[in-house]
Amino acid sequence: METTDAVTALAALAQDNRLDVFRLLVQAGPDGMTAGSIAEALDLAPNTLTFHFDRLRMAGLATVRREGRSMIYAARFETMNELVGFLTENCCGGTSCAPAAACKPARKRSKIPA
Amino acid sequence: METTDAVTALAALAQDNRLDVFRLLVQAGPDGMTAGSIAEALDLAPNTLTFHFDRLRMAGLATVRREGRSMIYAARFETMNELVGFLTENCCGGTSCAPAAACKPARKRSKIPA
DNA sequence: CCATTATTTCAATAATCGTTGAAATATGGA
DNA sequence: TCCATATTTCAACGATTATTGAAATAATGG
Protein backbone atom coordinates (compact mmCIF):
# COMPACT_ATOMS: atom_id res chain seq x y z
CA MET A 1 0.00 0.00 0.00
CA GLU A 2 1.24 3.48 -0.94
CA THR A 3 1.07 6.57 1.27
CA THR A 4 -1.47 8.15 -1.08
CA ASP A 5 -3.84 5.19 -0.81
CA ALA A 6 -3.44 5.09 2.95
CA VAL A 7 -4.26 8.79 3.24
CA THR A 8 -7.34 8.29 1.07
CA ALA A 9 -8.48 5.40 3.23
CA LEU A 10 -7.79 7.26 6.48
CA ALA A 11 -9.58 10.36 5.21
CA ALA A 12 -12.53 8.19 4.26
CA LEU A 13 -12.69 6.92 7.83
CA ALA A 14 -11.97 10.27 9.49
CA GLN A 15 -15.56 11.44 9.62
CA ASP A 16 -18.19 10.58 12.19
CA ASN A 17 -20.86 9.30 9.87
CA ARG A 18 -18.53 7.45 7.55
CA LEU A 19 -16.75 5.80 10.45
CA ASP A 20 -20.11 4.68 11.80
CA VAL A 21 -21.05 3.36 8.37
CA PHE A 22 -17.80 1.50 7.95
CA ARG A 23 -17.90 -0.07 11.38
CA LEU A 24 -21.46 -1.13 10.79
CA LEU A 25 -20.33 -2.79 7.54
CA VAL A 26 -17.37 -4.44 9.27
CA GLN A 27 -19.71 -5.88 11.86
CA ALA A 28 -22.22 -6.90 9.20
CA GLY A 29 -19.56 -9.04 7.52
CA PRO A 30 -19.13 -9.97 3.85
CA ASP A 31 -22.87 -10.16 3.14
CA GLY A 32 -23.17 -6.42 3.63
CA MET A 33 -26.31 -4.33 4.19
CA THR A 34 -28.75 -2.38 2.03
CA ALA A 35 -28.30 1.36 1.77
CA GLY A 36 -31.77 1.73 3.23
CA SER A 37 -31.09 -0.31 6.34
CA ILE A 38 -27.89 1.62 6.95
CA ALA A 39 -29.74 4.90 6.52
CA GLU A 40 -32.28 3.72 9.06
CA ALA A 41 -29.73 2.36 11.52
CA LEU A 42 -27.71 5.57 11.55
CA ASP A 43 -30.52 8.02 10.86
CA LEU A 44 -28.89 9.62 7.81
CA ALA A 45 -30.44 11.25 4.73
CA PRO A 46 -30.15 8.96 1.71
CA ASN A 47 -28.30 11.50 -0.43
CA THR A 48 -25.82 12.24 2.33
CA LEU A 49 -25.30 8.51 2.65
CA THR A 50 -24.60 8.16 -1.07
CA PHE A 51 -21.91 10.81 -0.73
CA HIS A 52 -20.27 8.89 2.08
CA PHE A 53 -20.57 5.53 0.32
CA ASP A 54 -18.77 7.02 -2.66
CA ARG A 55 -15.87 8.07 -0.55
CA LEU A 56 -15.61 4.69 1.13
CA ARG A 57 -15.80 3.01 -2.25
CA MET A 58 -13.20 5.30 -3.84
CA ALA A 59 -10.92 4.50 -0.91
CA GLY A 60 -11.36 0.78 -1.58
CA LEU A 61 -13.04 0.30 1.78
CA ALA A 62 -16.45 -0.78 0.48
CA THR A 63 -18.14 -2.46 -2.47
CA VAL A 64 -21.69 -2.19 -3.88
CA ARG A 65 -23.91 -4.55 -5.73
CA ARG A 66 -27.53 -4.18 -6.74
CA GLU A 67 -30.15 -6.60 -5.49
CA GLY A 68 -33.61 -5.76 -6.76
CA ARG A 69 -34.33 -2.17 -5.87
CA SER A 70 -31.72 -2.15 -3.14
CA MET A 71 -28.05 -1.37 -3.25
CA ILE A 72 -26.03 -3.58 -0.93
CA TYR A 73 -22.83 -2.21 0.52
CA ALA A 74 -20.14 -4.35 2.10
CA ALA A 75 -16.78 -3.66 3.74
CA ARG A 76 -13.58 -4.56 1.89
CA PHE A 77 -11.60 -6.30 4.60
CA GLU A 78 -8.50 -6.62 2.48
CA THR A 79 -8.05 -2.86 2.33
CA MET A 80 -8.73 -2.51 6.03
CA ASN A 81 -6.02 -5.04 6.79
CA GLU A 82 -3.56 -3.43 4.41
CA LEU A 83 -4.18 -0.09 6.09
CA VAL A 84 -3.53 -1.51 9.53
CA GLY A 85 -0.38 -3.18 8.21
CA PHE A 86 0.79 0.07 6.66
CA LEU A 87 0.38 1.95 9.94
CA THR A 88 2.20 -0.57 12.07
CA GLU A 89 4.81 -1.44 9.43
CA ASN A 90 8.30 -1.97 10.73
CA CYS A 91 7.18 -0.88 14.20
CA CYS A 92 10.11 0.01 16.51
CA GLY A 93 12.52 -0.81 13.72
CA GLY A 94 11.01 -4.24 13.32
CA THR A 95 13.09 -5.84 16.06
CA SER A 96 10.93 -6.05 19.15
CA CYS A 97 7.40 -5.51 17.85
CA ALA A 98 4.90 -7.99 16.47
CA PRO A 99 2.90 -6.65 13.52
CA ALA A 100 -0.90 -6.63 13.78
CA ALA A 101 -2.83 -9.67 12.65
CA ALA A 102 -5.42 -9.54 9.86
CA CYS A 103 -9.20 -9.89 10.06
CA LYS A 104 -10.31 -12.69 7.75
CA PRO A 105 -14.03 -13.22 7.15
CA ALA A 106 -14.56 -16.96 7.02
CA ARG A 107 -17.38 -17.37 4.50
CA LYS A 108 -18.15 -15.54 1.30
CA ARG A 109 -21.63 -14.00 1.00
CA SER A 110 -24.21 -16.76 0.88
CA LYS A 111 -27.80 -15.68 0.10
CA ILE A 112 -29.13 -14.74 -3.37
CA PRO A 113 -26.14 -15.82 -5.49
CA ALA A 114 -26.32 -12.93 -8.06
CA MET B 1 -12.24 4.29 22.58
CA GLU B 2 -15.13 6.54 21.51
CA THR B 3 -16.11 7.39 17.94
CA THR B 4 -15.06 11.00 18.49
CA ASP B 5 -11.55 10.01 19.57
CA ALA B 6 -11.23 7.60 16.68
CA VAL B 7 -12.26 10.28 14.20
CA THR B 8 -9.72 12.67 15.71
CA ALA B 9 -6.99 10.04 15.45
CA LEU B 10 -7.94 9.09 11.89
CA ALA B 11 -8.10 12.73 10.84
CA ALA B 12 -4.68 13.26 12.35
CA LEU B 13 -3.33 10.44 10.19
CA ALA B 14 -5.29 11.37 7.07
CA GLN B 15 -2.73 13.79 5.70
CA ASP B 16 0.38 12.98 3.68
CA ASN B 17 2.92 14.76 5.84
CA ARG B 18 1.39 13.73 9.14
CA LEU B 19 1.13 10.13 8.06
CA ASP B 20 4.80 10.22 7.08
CA VAL B 21 5.68 11.77 10.43
CA PHE B 22 3.68 9.21 12.37
CA ARG B 23 5.09 6.24 10.50
CA LEU B 24 8.56 7.59 11.00
CA LEU B 25 7.85 7.81 14.73
CA VAL B 26 6.37 4.31 14.78
CA GLN B 27 9.51 2.98 13.17
CA ALA B 28 11.72 5.04 15.47
CA GLY B 29 10.17 3.30 18.48
CA PRO B 30 9.63 4.61 22.02
CA ASP B 31 12.83 6.67 22.09
CA GLY B 32 11.39 9.03 19.49
CA MET B 33 13.18 11.61 17.34
CA THR B 34 13.98 15.31 17.55
CA ALA B 35 11.76 17.74 15.66
CA GLY B 36 14.82 18.79 13.71
CA SER B 37 15.73 15.33 12.50
CA ILE B 38 12.15 14.73 11.43
CA ALA B 39 12.11 18.04 9.57
CA GLU B 40 15.28 17.01 7.81
CA ALA B 41 14.16 13.47 7.05
CA LEU B 42 10.87 14.62 5.51
CA ASP B 43 11.99 18.00 4.18
CA LEU B 44 9.32 20.02 5.97
CA ALA B 45 9.33 23.60 7.23
CA PRO B 46 9.67 23.69 11.03
CA ASN B 47 6.51 25.72 11.58
CA THR B 48 4.48 23.40 9.35
CA LEU B 49 5.88 20.52 11.33
CA THR B 50 4.83 22.08 14.63
CA PHE B 51 1.31 22.36 13.30
CA HIS B 52 1.28 18.67 12.42
CA PHE B 53 2.87 17.60 15.69
CA ASP B 54 0.12 19.44 17.54
CA ARG B 55 -2.54 17.52 15.71
CA LEU B 56 -0.86 14.19 16.37
CA ARG B 57 -0.47 15.11 20.00
CA MET B 58 -4.05 16.31 20.39
CA ALA B 59 -5.14 13.01 18.89
CA GLY B 60 -3.11 11.12 21.48
CA LEU B 61 -0.86 9.67 18.79
CA ALA B 62 2.36 11.35 19.89
CA THR B 63 4.14 12.74 22.93
CA VAL B 64 6.82 15.43 23.31
CA ARG B 65 9.56 16.01 25.81
CA ARG B 66 12.32 18.57 25.81
CA GLU B 67 15.94 17.52 25.73
CA GLY B 68 18.27 20.49 25.73
CA ARG B 69 17.31 22.71 22.83
CA SER B 70 15.55 19.90 21.06
CA MET B 71 12.00 18.67 21.29
CA ILE B 72 11.71 14.92 21.04
CA TYR B 73 8.54 13.45 19.62
CA ALA B 74 7.54 9.82 20.01
CA ALA B 75 4.59 7.72 18.88
CA ARG B 76 1.95 6.66 21.39
CA PHE B 77 1.54 2.99 20.56
CA GLU B 78 -1.33 2.51 22.95
CA THR B 79 -3.55 4.88 20.99
CA MET B 80 -2.53 3.31 17.72
CA ASN B 81 -3.52 -0.11 18.99
CA GLU B 82 -6.80 1.17 20.38
CA LEU B 83 -7.60 2.70 17.03
CA VAL B 84 -6.91 -0.54 15.20
CA GLY B 85 -9.03 -2.38 17.73
CA PHE B 86 -11.85 0.10 17.30
CA LEU B 87 -11.87 -0.34 13.53
CA THR B 88 -11.88 -4.11 13.59
CA GLU B 89 -14.14 -4.42 16.63
CA ASN B 90 -16.70 -7.19 16.45
CA CYS B 91 -15.69 -7.92 12.86
CA CYS B 92 -18.25 -10.07 10.99
CA GLY B 93 -20.41 -10.17 14.08
CA GLY B 94 -17.52 -11.48 16.14
CA THR B 95 -18.09 -15.10 15.26
CA SER B 96 -15.61 -15.97 12.53
CA CYS B 97 -13.04 -13.19 12.68
CA ALA B 98 -9.95 -12.84 14.82
CA PRO B 99 -9.37 -9.30 16.11
CA ALA B 100 -6.05 -7.60 15.25
CA ALA B 101 -3.09 -8.06 17.56
CA ALA B 102 -1.39 -5.13 19.28
CA CYS B 103 2.07 -3.69 18.69
CA LYS B 104 3.98 -3.67 21.97
CA PRO B 105 7.33 -1.89 22.13
CA ALA B 106 9.58 -4.03 24.30
CA ARG B 107 11.74 -1.49 26.13
CA LYS B 108 10.98 1.94 27.49
CA ARG B 109 13.22 4.79 26.27
CA SER B 110 16.75 4.28 27.53
CA LYS B 111 19.16 7.19 27.00
CA ILE B 112 19.23 10.42 29.03
CA PRO B 113 16.78 9.49 31.84
CA ALA B 114 14.91 12.83 32.06
C1' DC C 1 24.84 39.49 28.39
C1' DC C 2 25.00 38.37 23.34
C1' DA C 3 24.79 35.32 19.48
C1' DT C 4 23.26 30.98 17.79
C1' DT C 5 20.41 27.06 17.43
C1' DA C 6 15.88 24.89 17.83
C1' DT C 7 11.26 25.34 17.79
C1' DT C 8 6.79 27.68 18.30
C1' DT C 9 3.20 31.35 17.58
C1' DC C 10 0.31 34.23 14.79
C1' DA C 11 -2.30 36.07 10.84
C1' DA C 12 -3.64 35.39 6.17
C1' DT C 13 -4.87 32.82 2.08
C1' DA C 14 -6.54 29.13 -1.10
C1' DA C 15 -8.53 24.65 -1.21
C1' DT C 16 -11.41 20.98 0.35
C1' DC C 17 -15.38 19.06 2.99
C1' DG C 18 -20.24 17.78 4.74
C1' DT C 19 -24.96 18.81 4.49
C1' DT C 20 -29.14 20.38 2.39
C1' DG C 21 -32.98 20.50 -0.98
C1' DA C 22 -34.92 19.54 -5.29
C1' DA C 23 -34.95 16.76 -9.18
C1' DA C 24 -33.53 12.57 -11.71
C1' DT C 25 -32.99 7.54 -12.40
C1' DA C 26 -33.83 2.52 -11.83
C1' DT C 27 -36.61 -1.45 -10.31
C1' DG C 28 -40.73 -4.15 -9.37
C1' DG C 29 -45.69 -4.71 -8.93
C1' DA C 30 -50.74 -3.69 -10.19
C1' DT D 1 -48.42 1.60 -18.65
C1' DC D 2 -48.60 3.86 -14.19
C1' DC D 3 -47.25 4.12 -9.42
C1' DA D 4 -44.48 3.43 -5.39
C1' DT D 5 -39.98 2.33 -3.59
C1' DA D 6 -34.91 2.80 -3.40
C1' DT D 7 -31.16 5.35 -4.40
C1' DT D 8 -28.37 8.75 -6.93
C1' DT D 9 -27.17 13.34 -9.08
C1' DC D 10 -26.52 18.23 -8.99
C1' DA D 11 -25.80 22.98 -7.30
C1' DA D 12 -25.06 25.80 -3.35
C1' DC D 13 -23.64 27.14 1.26
C1' DG D 14 -20.81 27.61 5.56
C1' DA D 15 -17.05 25.43 7.92
C1' DT D 16 -12.59 23.43 8.33
C1' DT D 17 -7.80 22.63 6.64
C1' DA D 18 -2.73 23.03 5.17
C1' DT D 19 0.71 26.10 3.99
C1' DT D 20 3.22 30.47 3.94
C1' DG D 21 6.06 34.18 5.94
C1' DA D 22 7.47 36.97 9.66
C1' DA D 23 8.18 37.41 14.38
C1' DA D 24 8.53 35.44 19.11
C1' DT D 25 10.30 32.22 22.67
C1' DA D 26 13.59 28.88 24.93
C1' DA D 27 18.19 26.86 25.80
C1' DT D 28 23.19 26.74 25.28
C1' DG D 29 27.96 28.41 24.76
C1' DG D 30 31.23 32.18 24.76
pTM of the full structure: 0.90
How would you write the pLDDT of chain B (114 residues) with one tens digit per residue?
Answer: 999 999 999 999 999 999 999 999 999 999 999 999 999 999 999 999 999 999 999 999 999 999 999 999 999 999 999 999 999 998 998 776 766 667 777 655 443 333
Q: A93 at the B interface (CB within 8 A)?
A: yes
* CB-based contact B11 A14, cutoff 8 Å: yes
Closest-CA residue of chain A to B26: A91
The C-alpha atoms of residue B114 and residue B89 are separated, in whole angstroms, by: 37
Residue B87 and residue B1 in contact, taking contact as beta carbons nearer than 8 Å: no
Residue A57 and residue A68 in contact, taking contact as beta carbons nearer than 8 Å: no
pLDDT tens digits along A8-47:
999 999 999 999 999 999 999 999 999 999 999 999 999 9
- What CATH number matches the domain at A3-94, 3.40.605.10, 1.10.10.10, 1.10.760.10, 3.30.750.24? 1.10.10.10
Measured CA B47 to C1' C9 distance, in angstroms: 9
The C-alpha atoms of residue B78 and residue A90 are separated, in whole angstroms, by: 16
- What CATH number matches the domain at B3-90, 1.10.1240.10, 3.40.50.2000, 1.10.10.10, 1.10.287.1770? 1.10.10.10
The C-alpha atoms of residue B24 and residue B75 are separated, in whole angstroms, by: 9
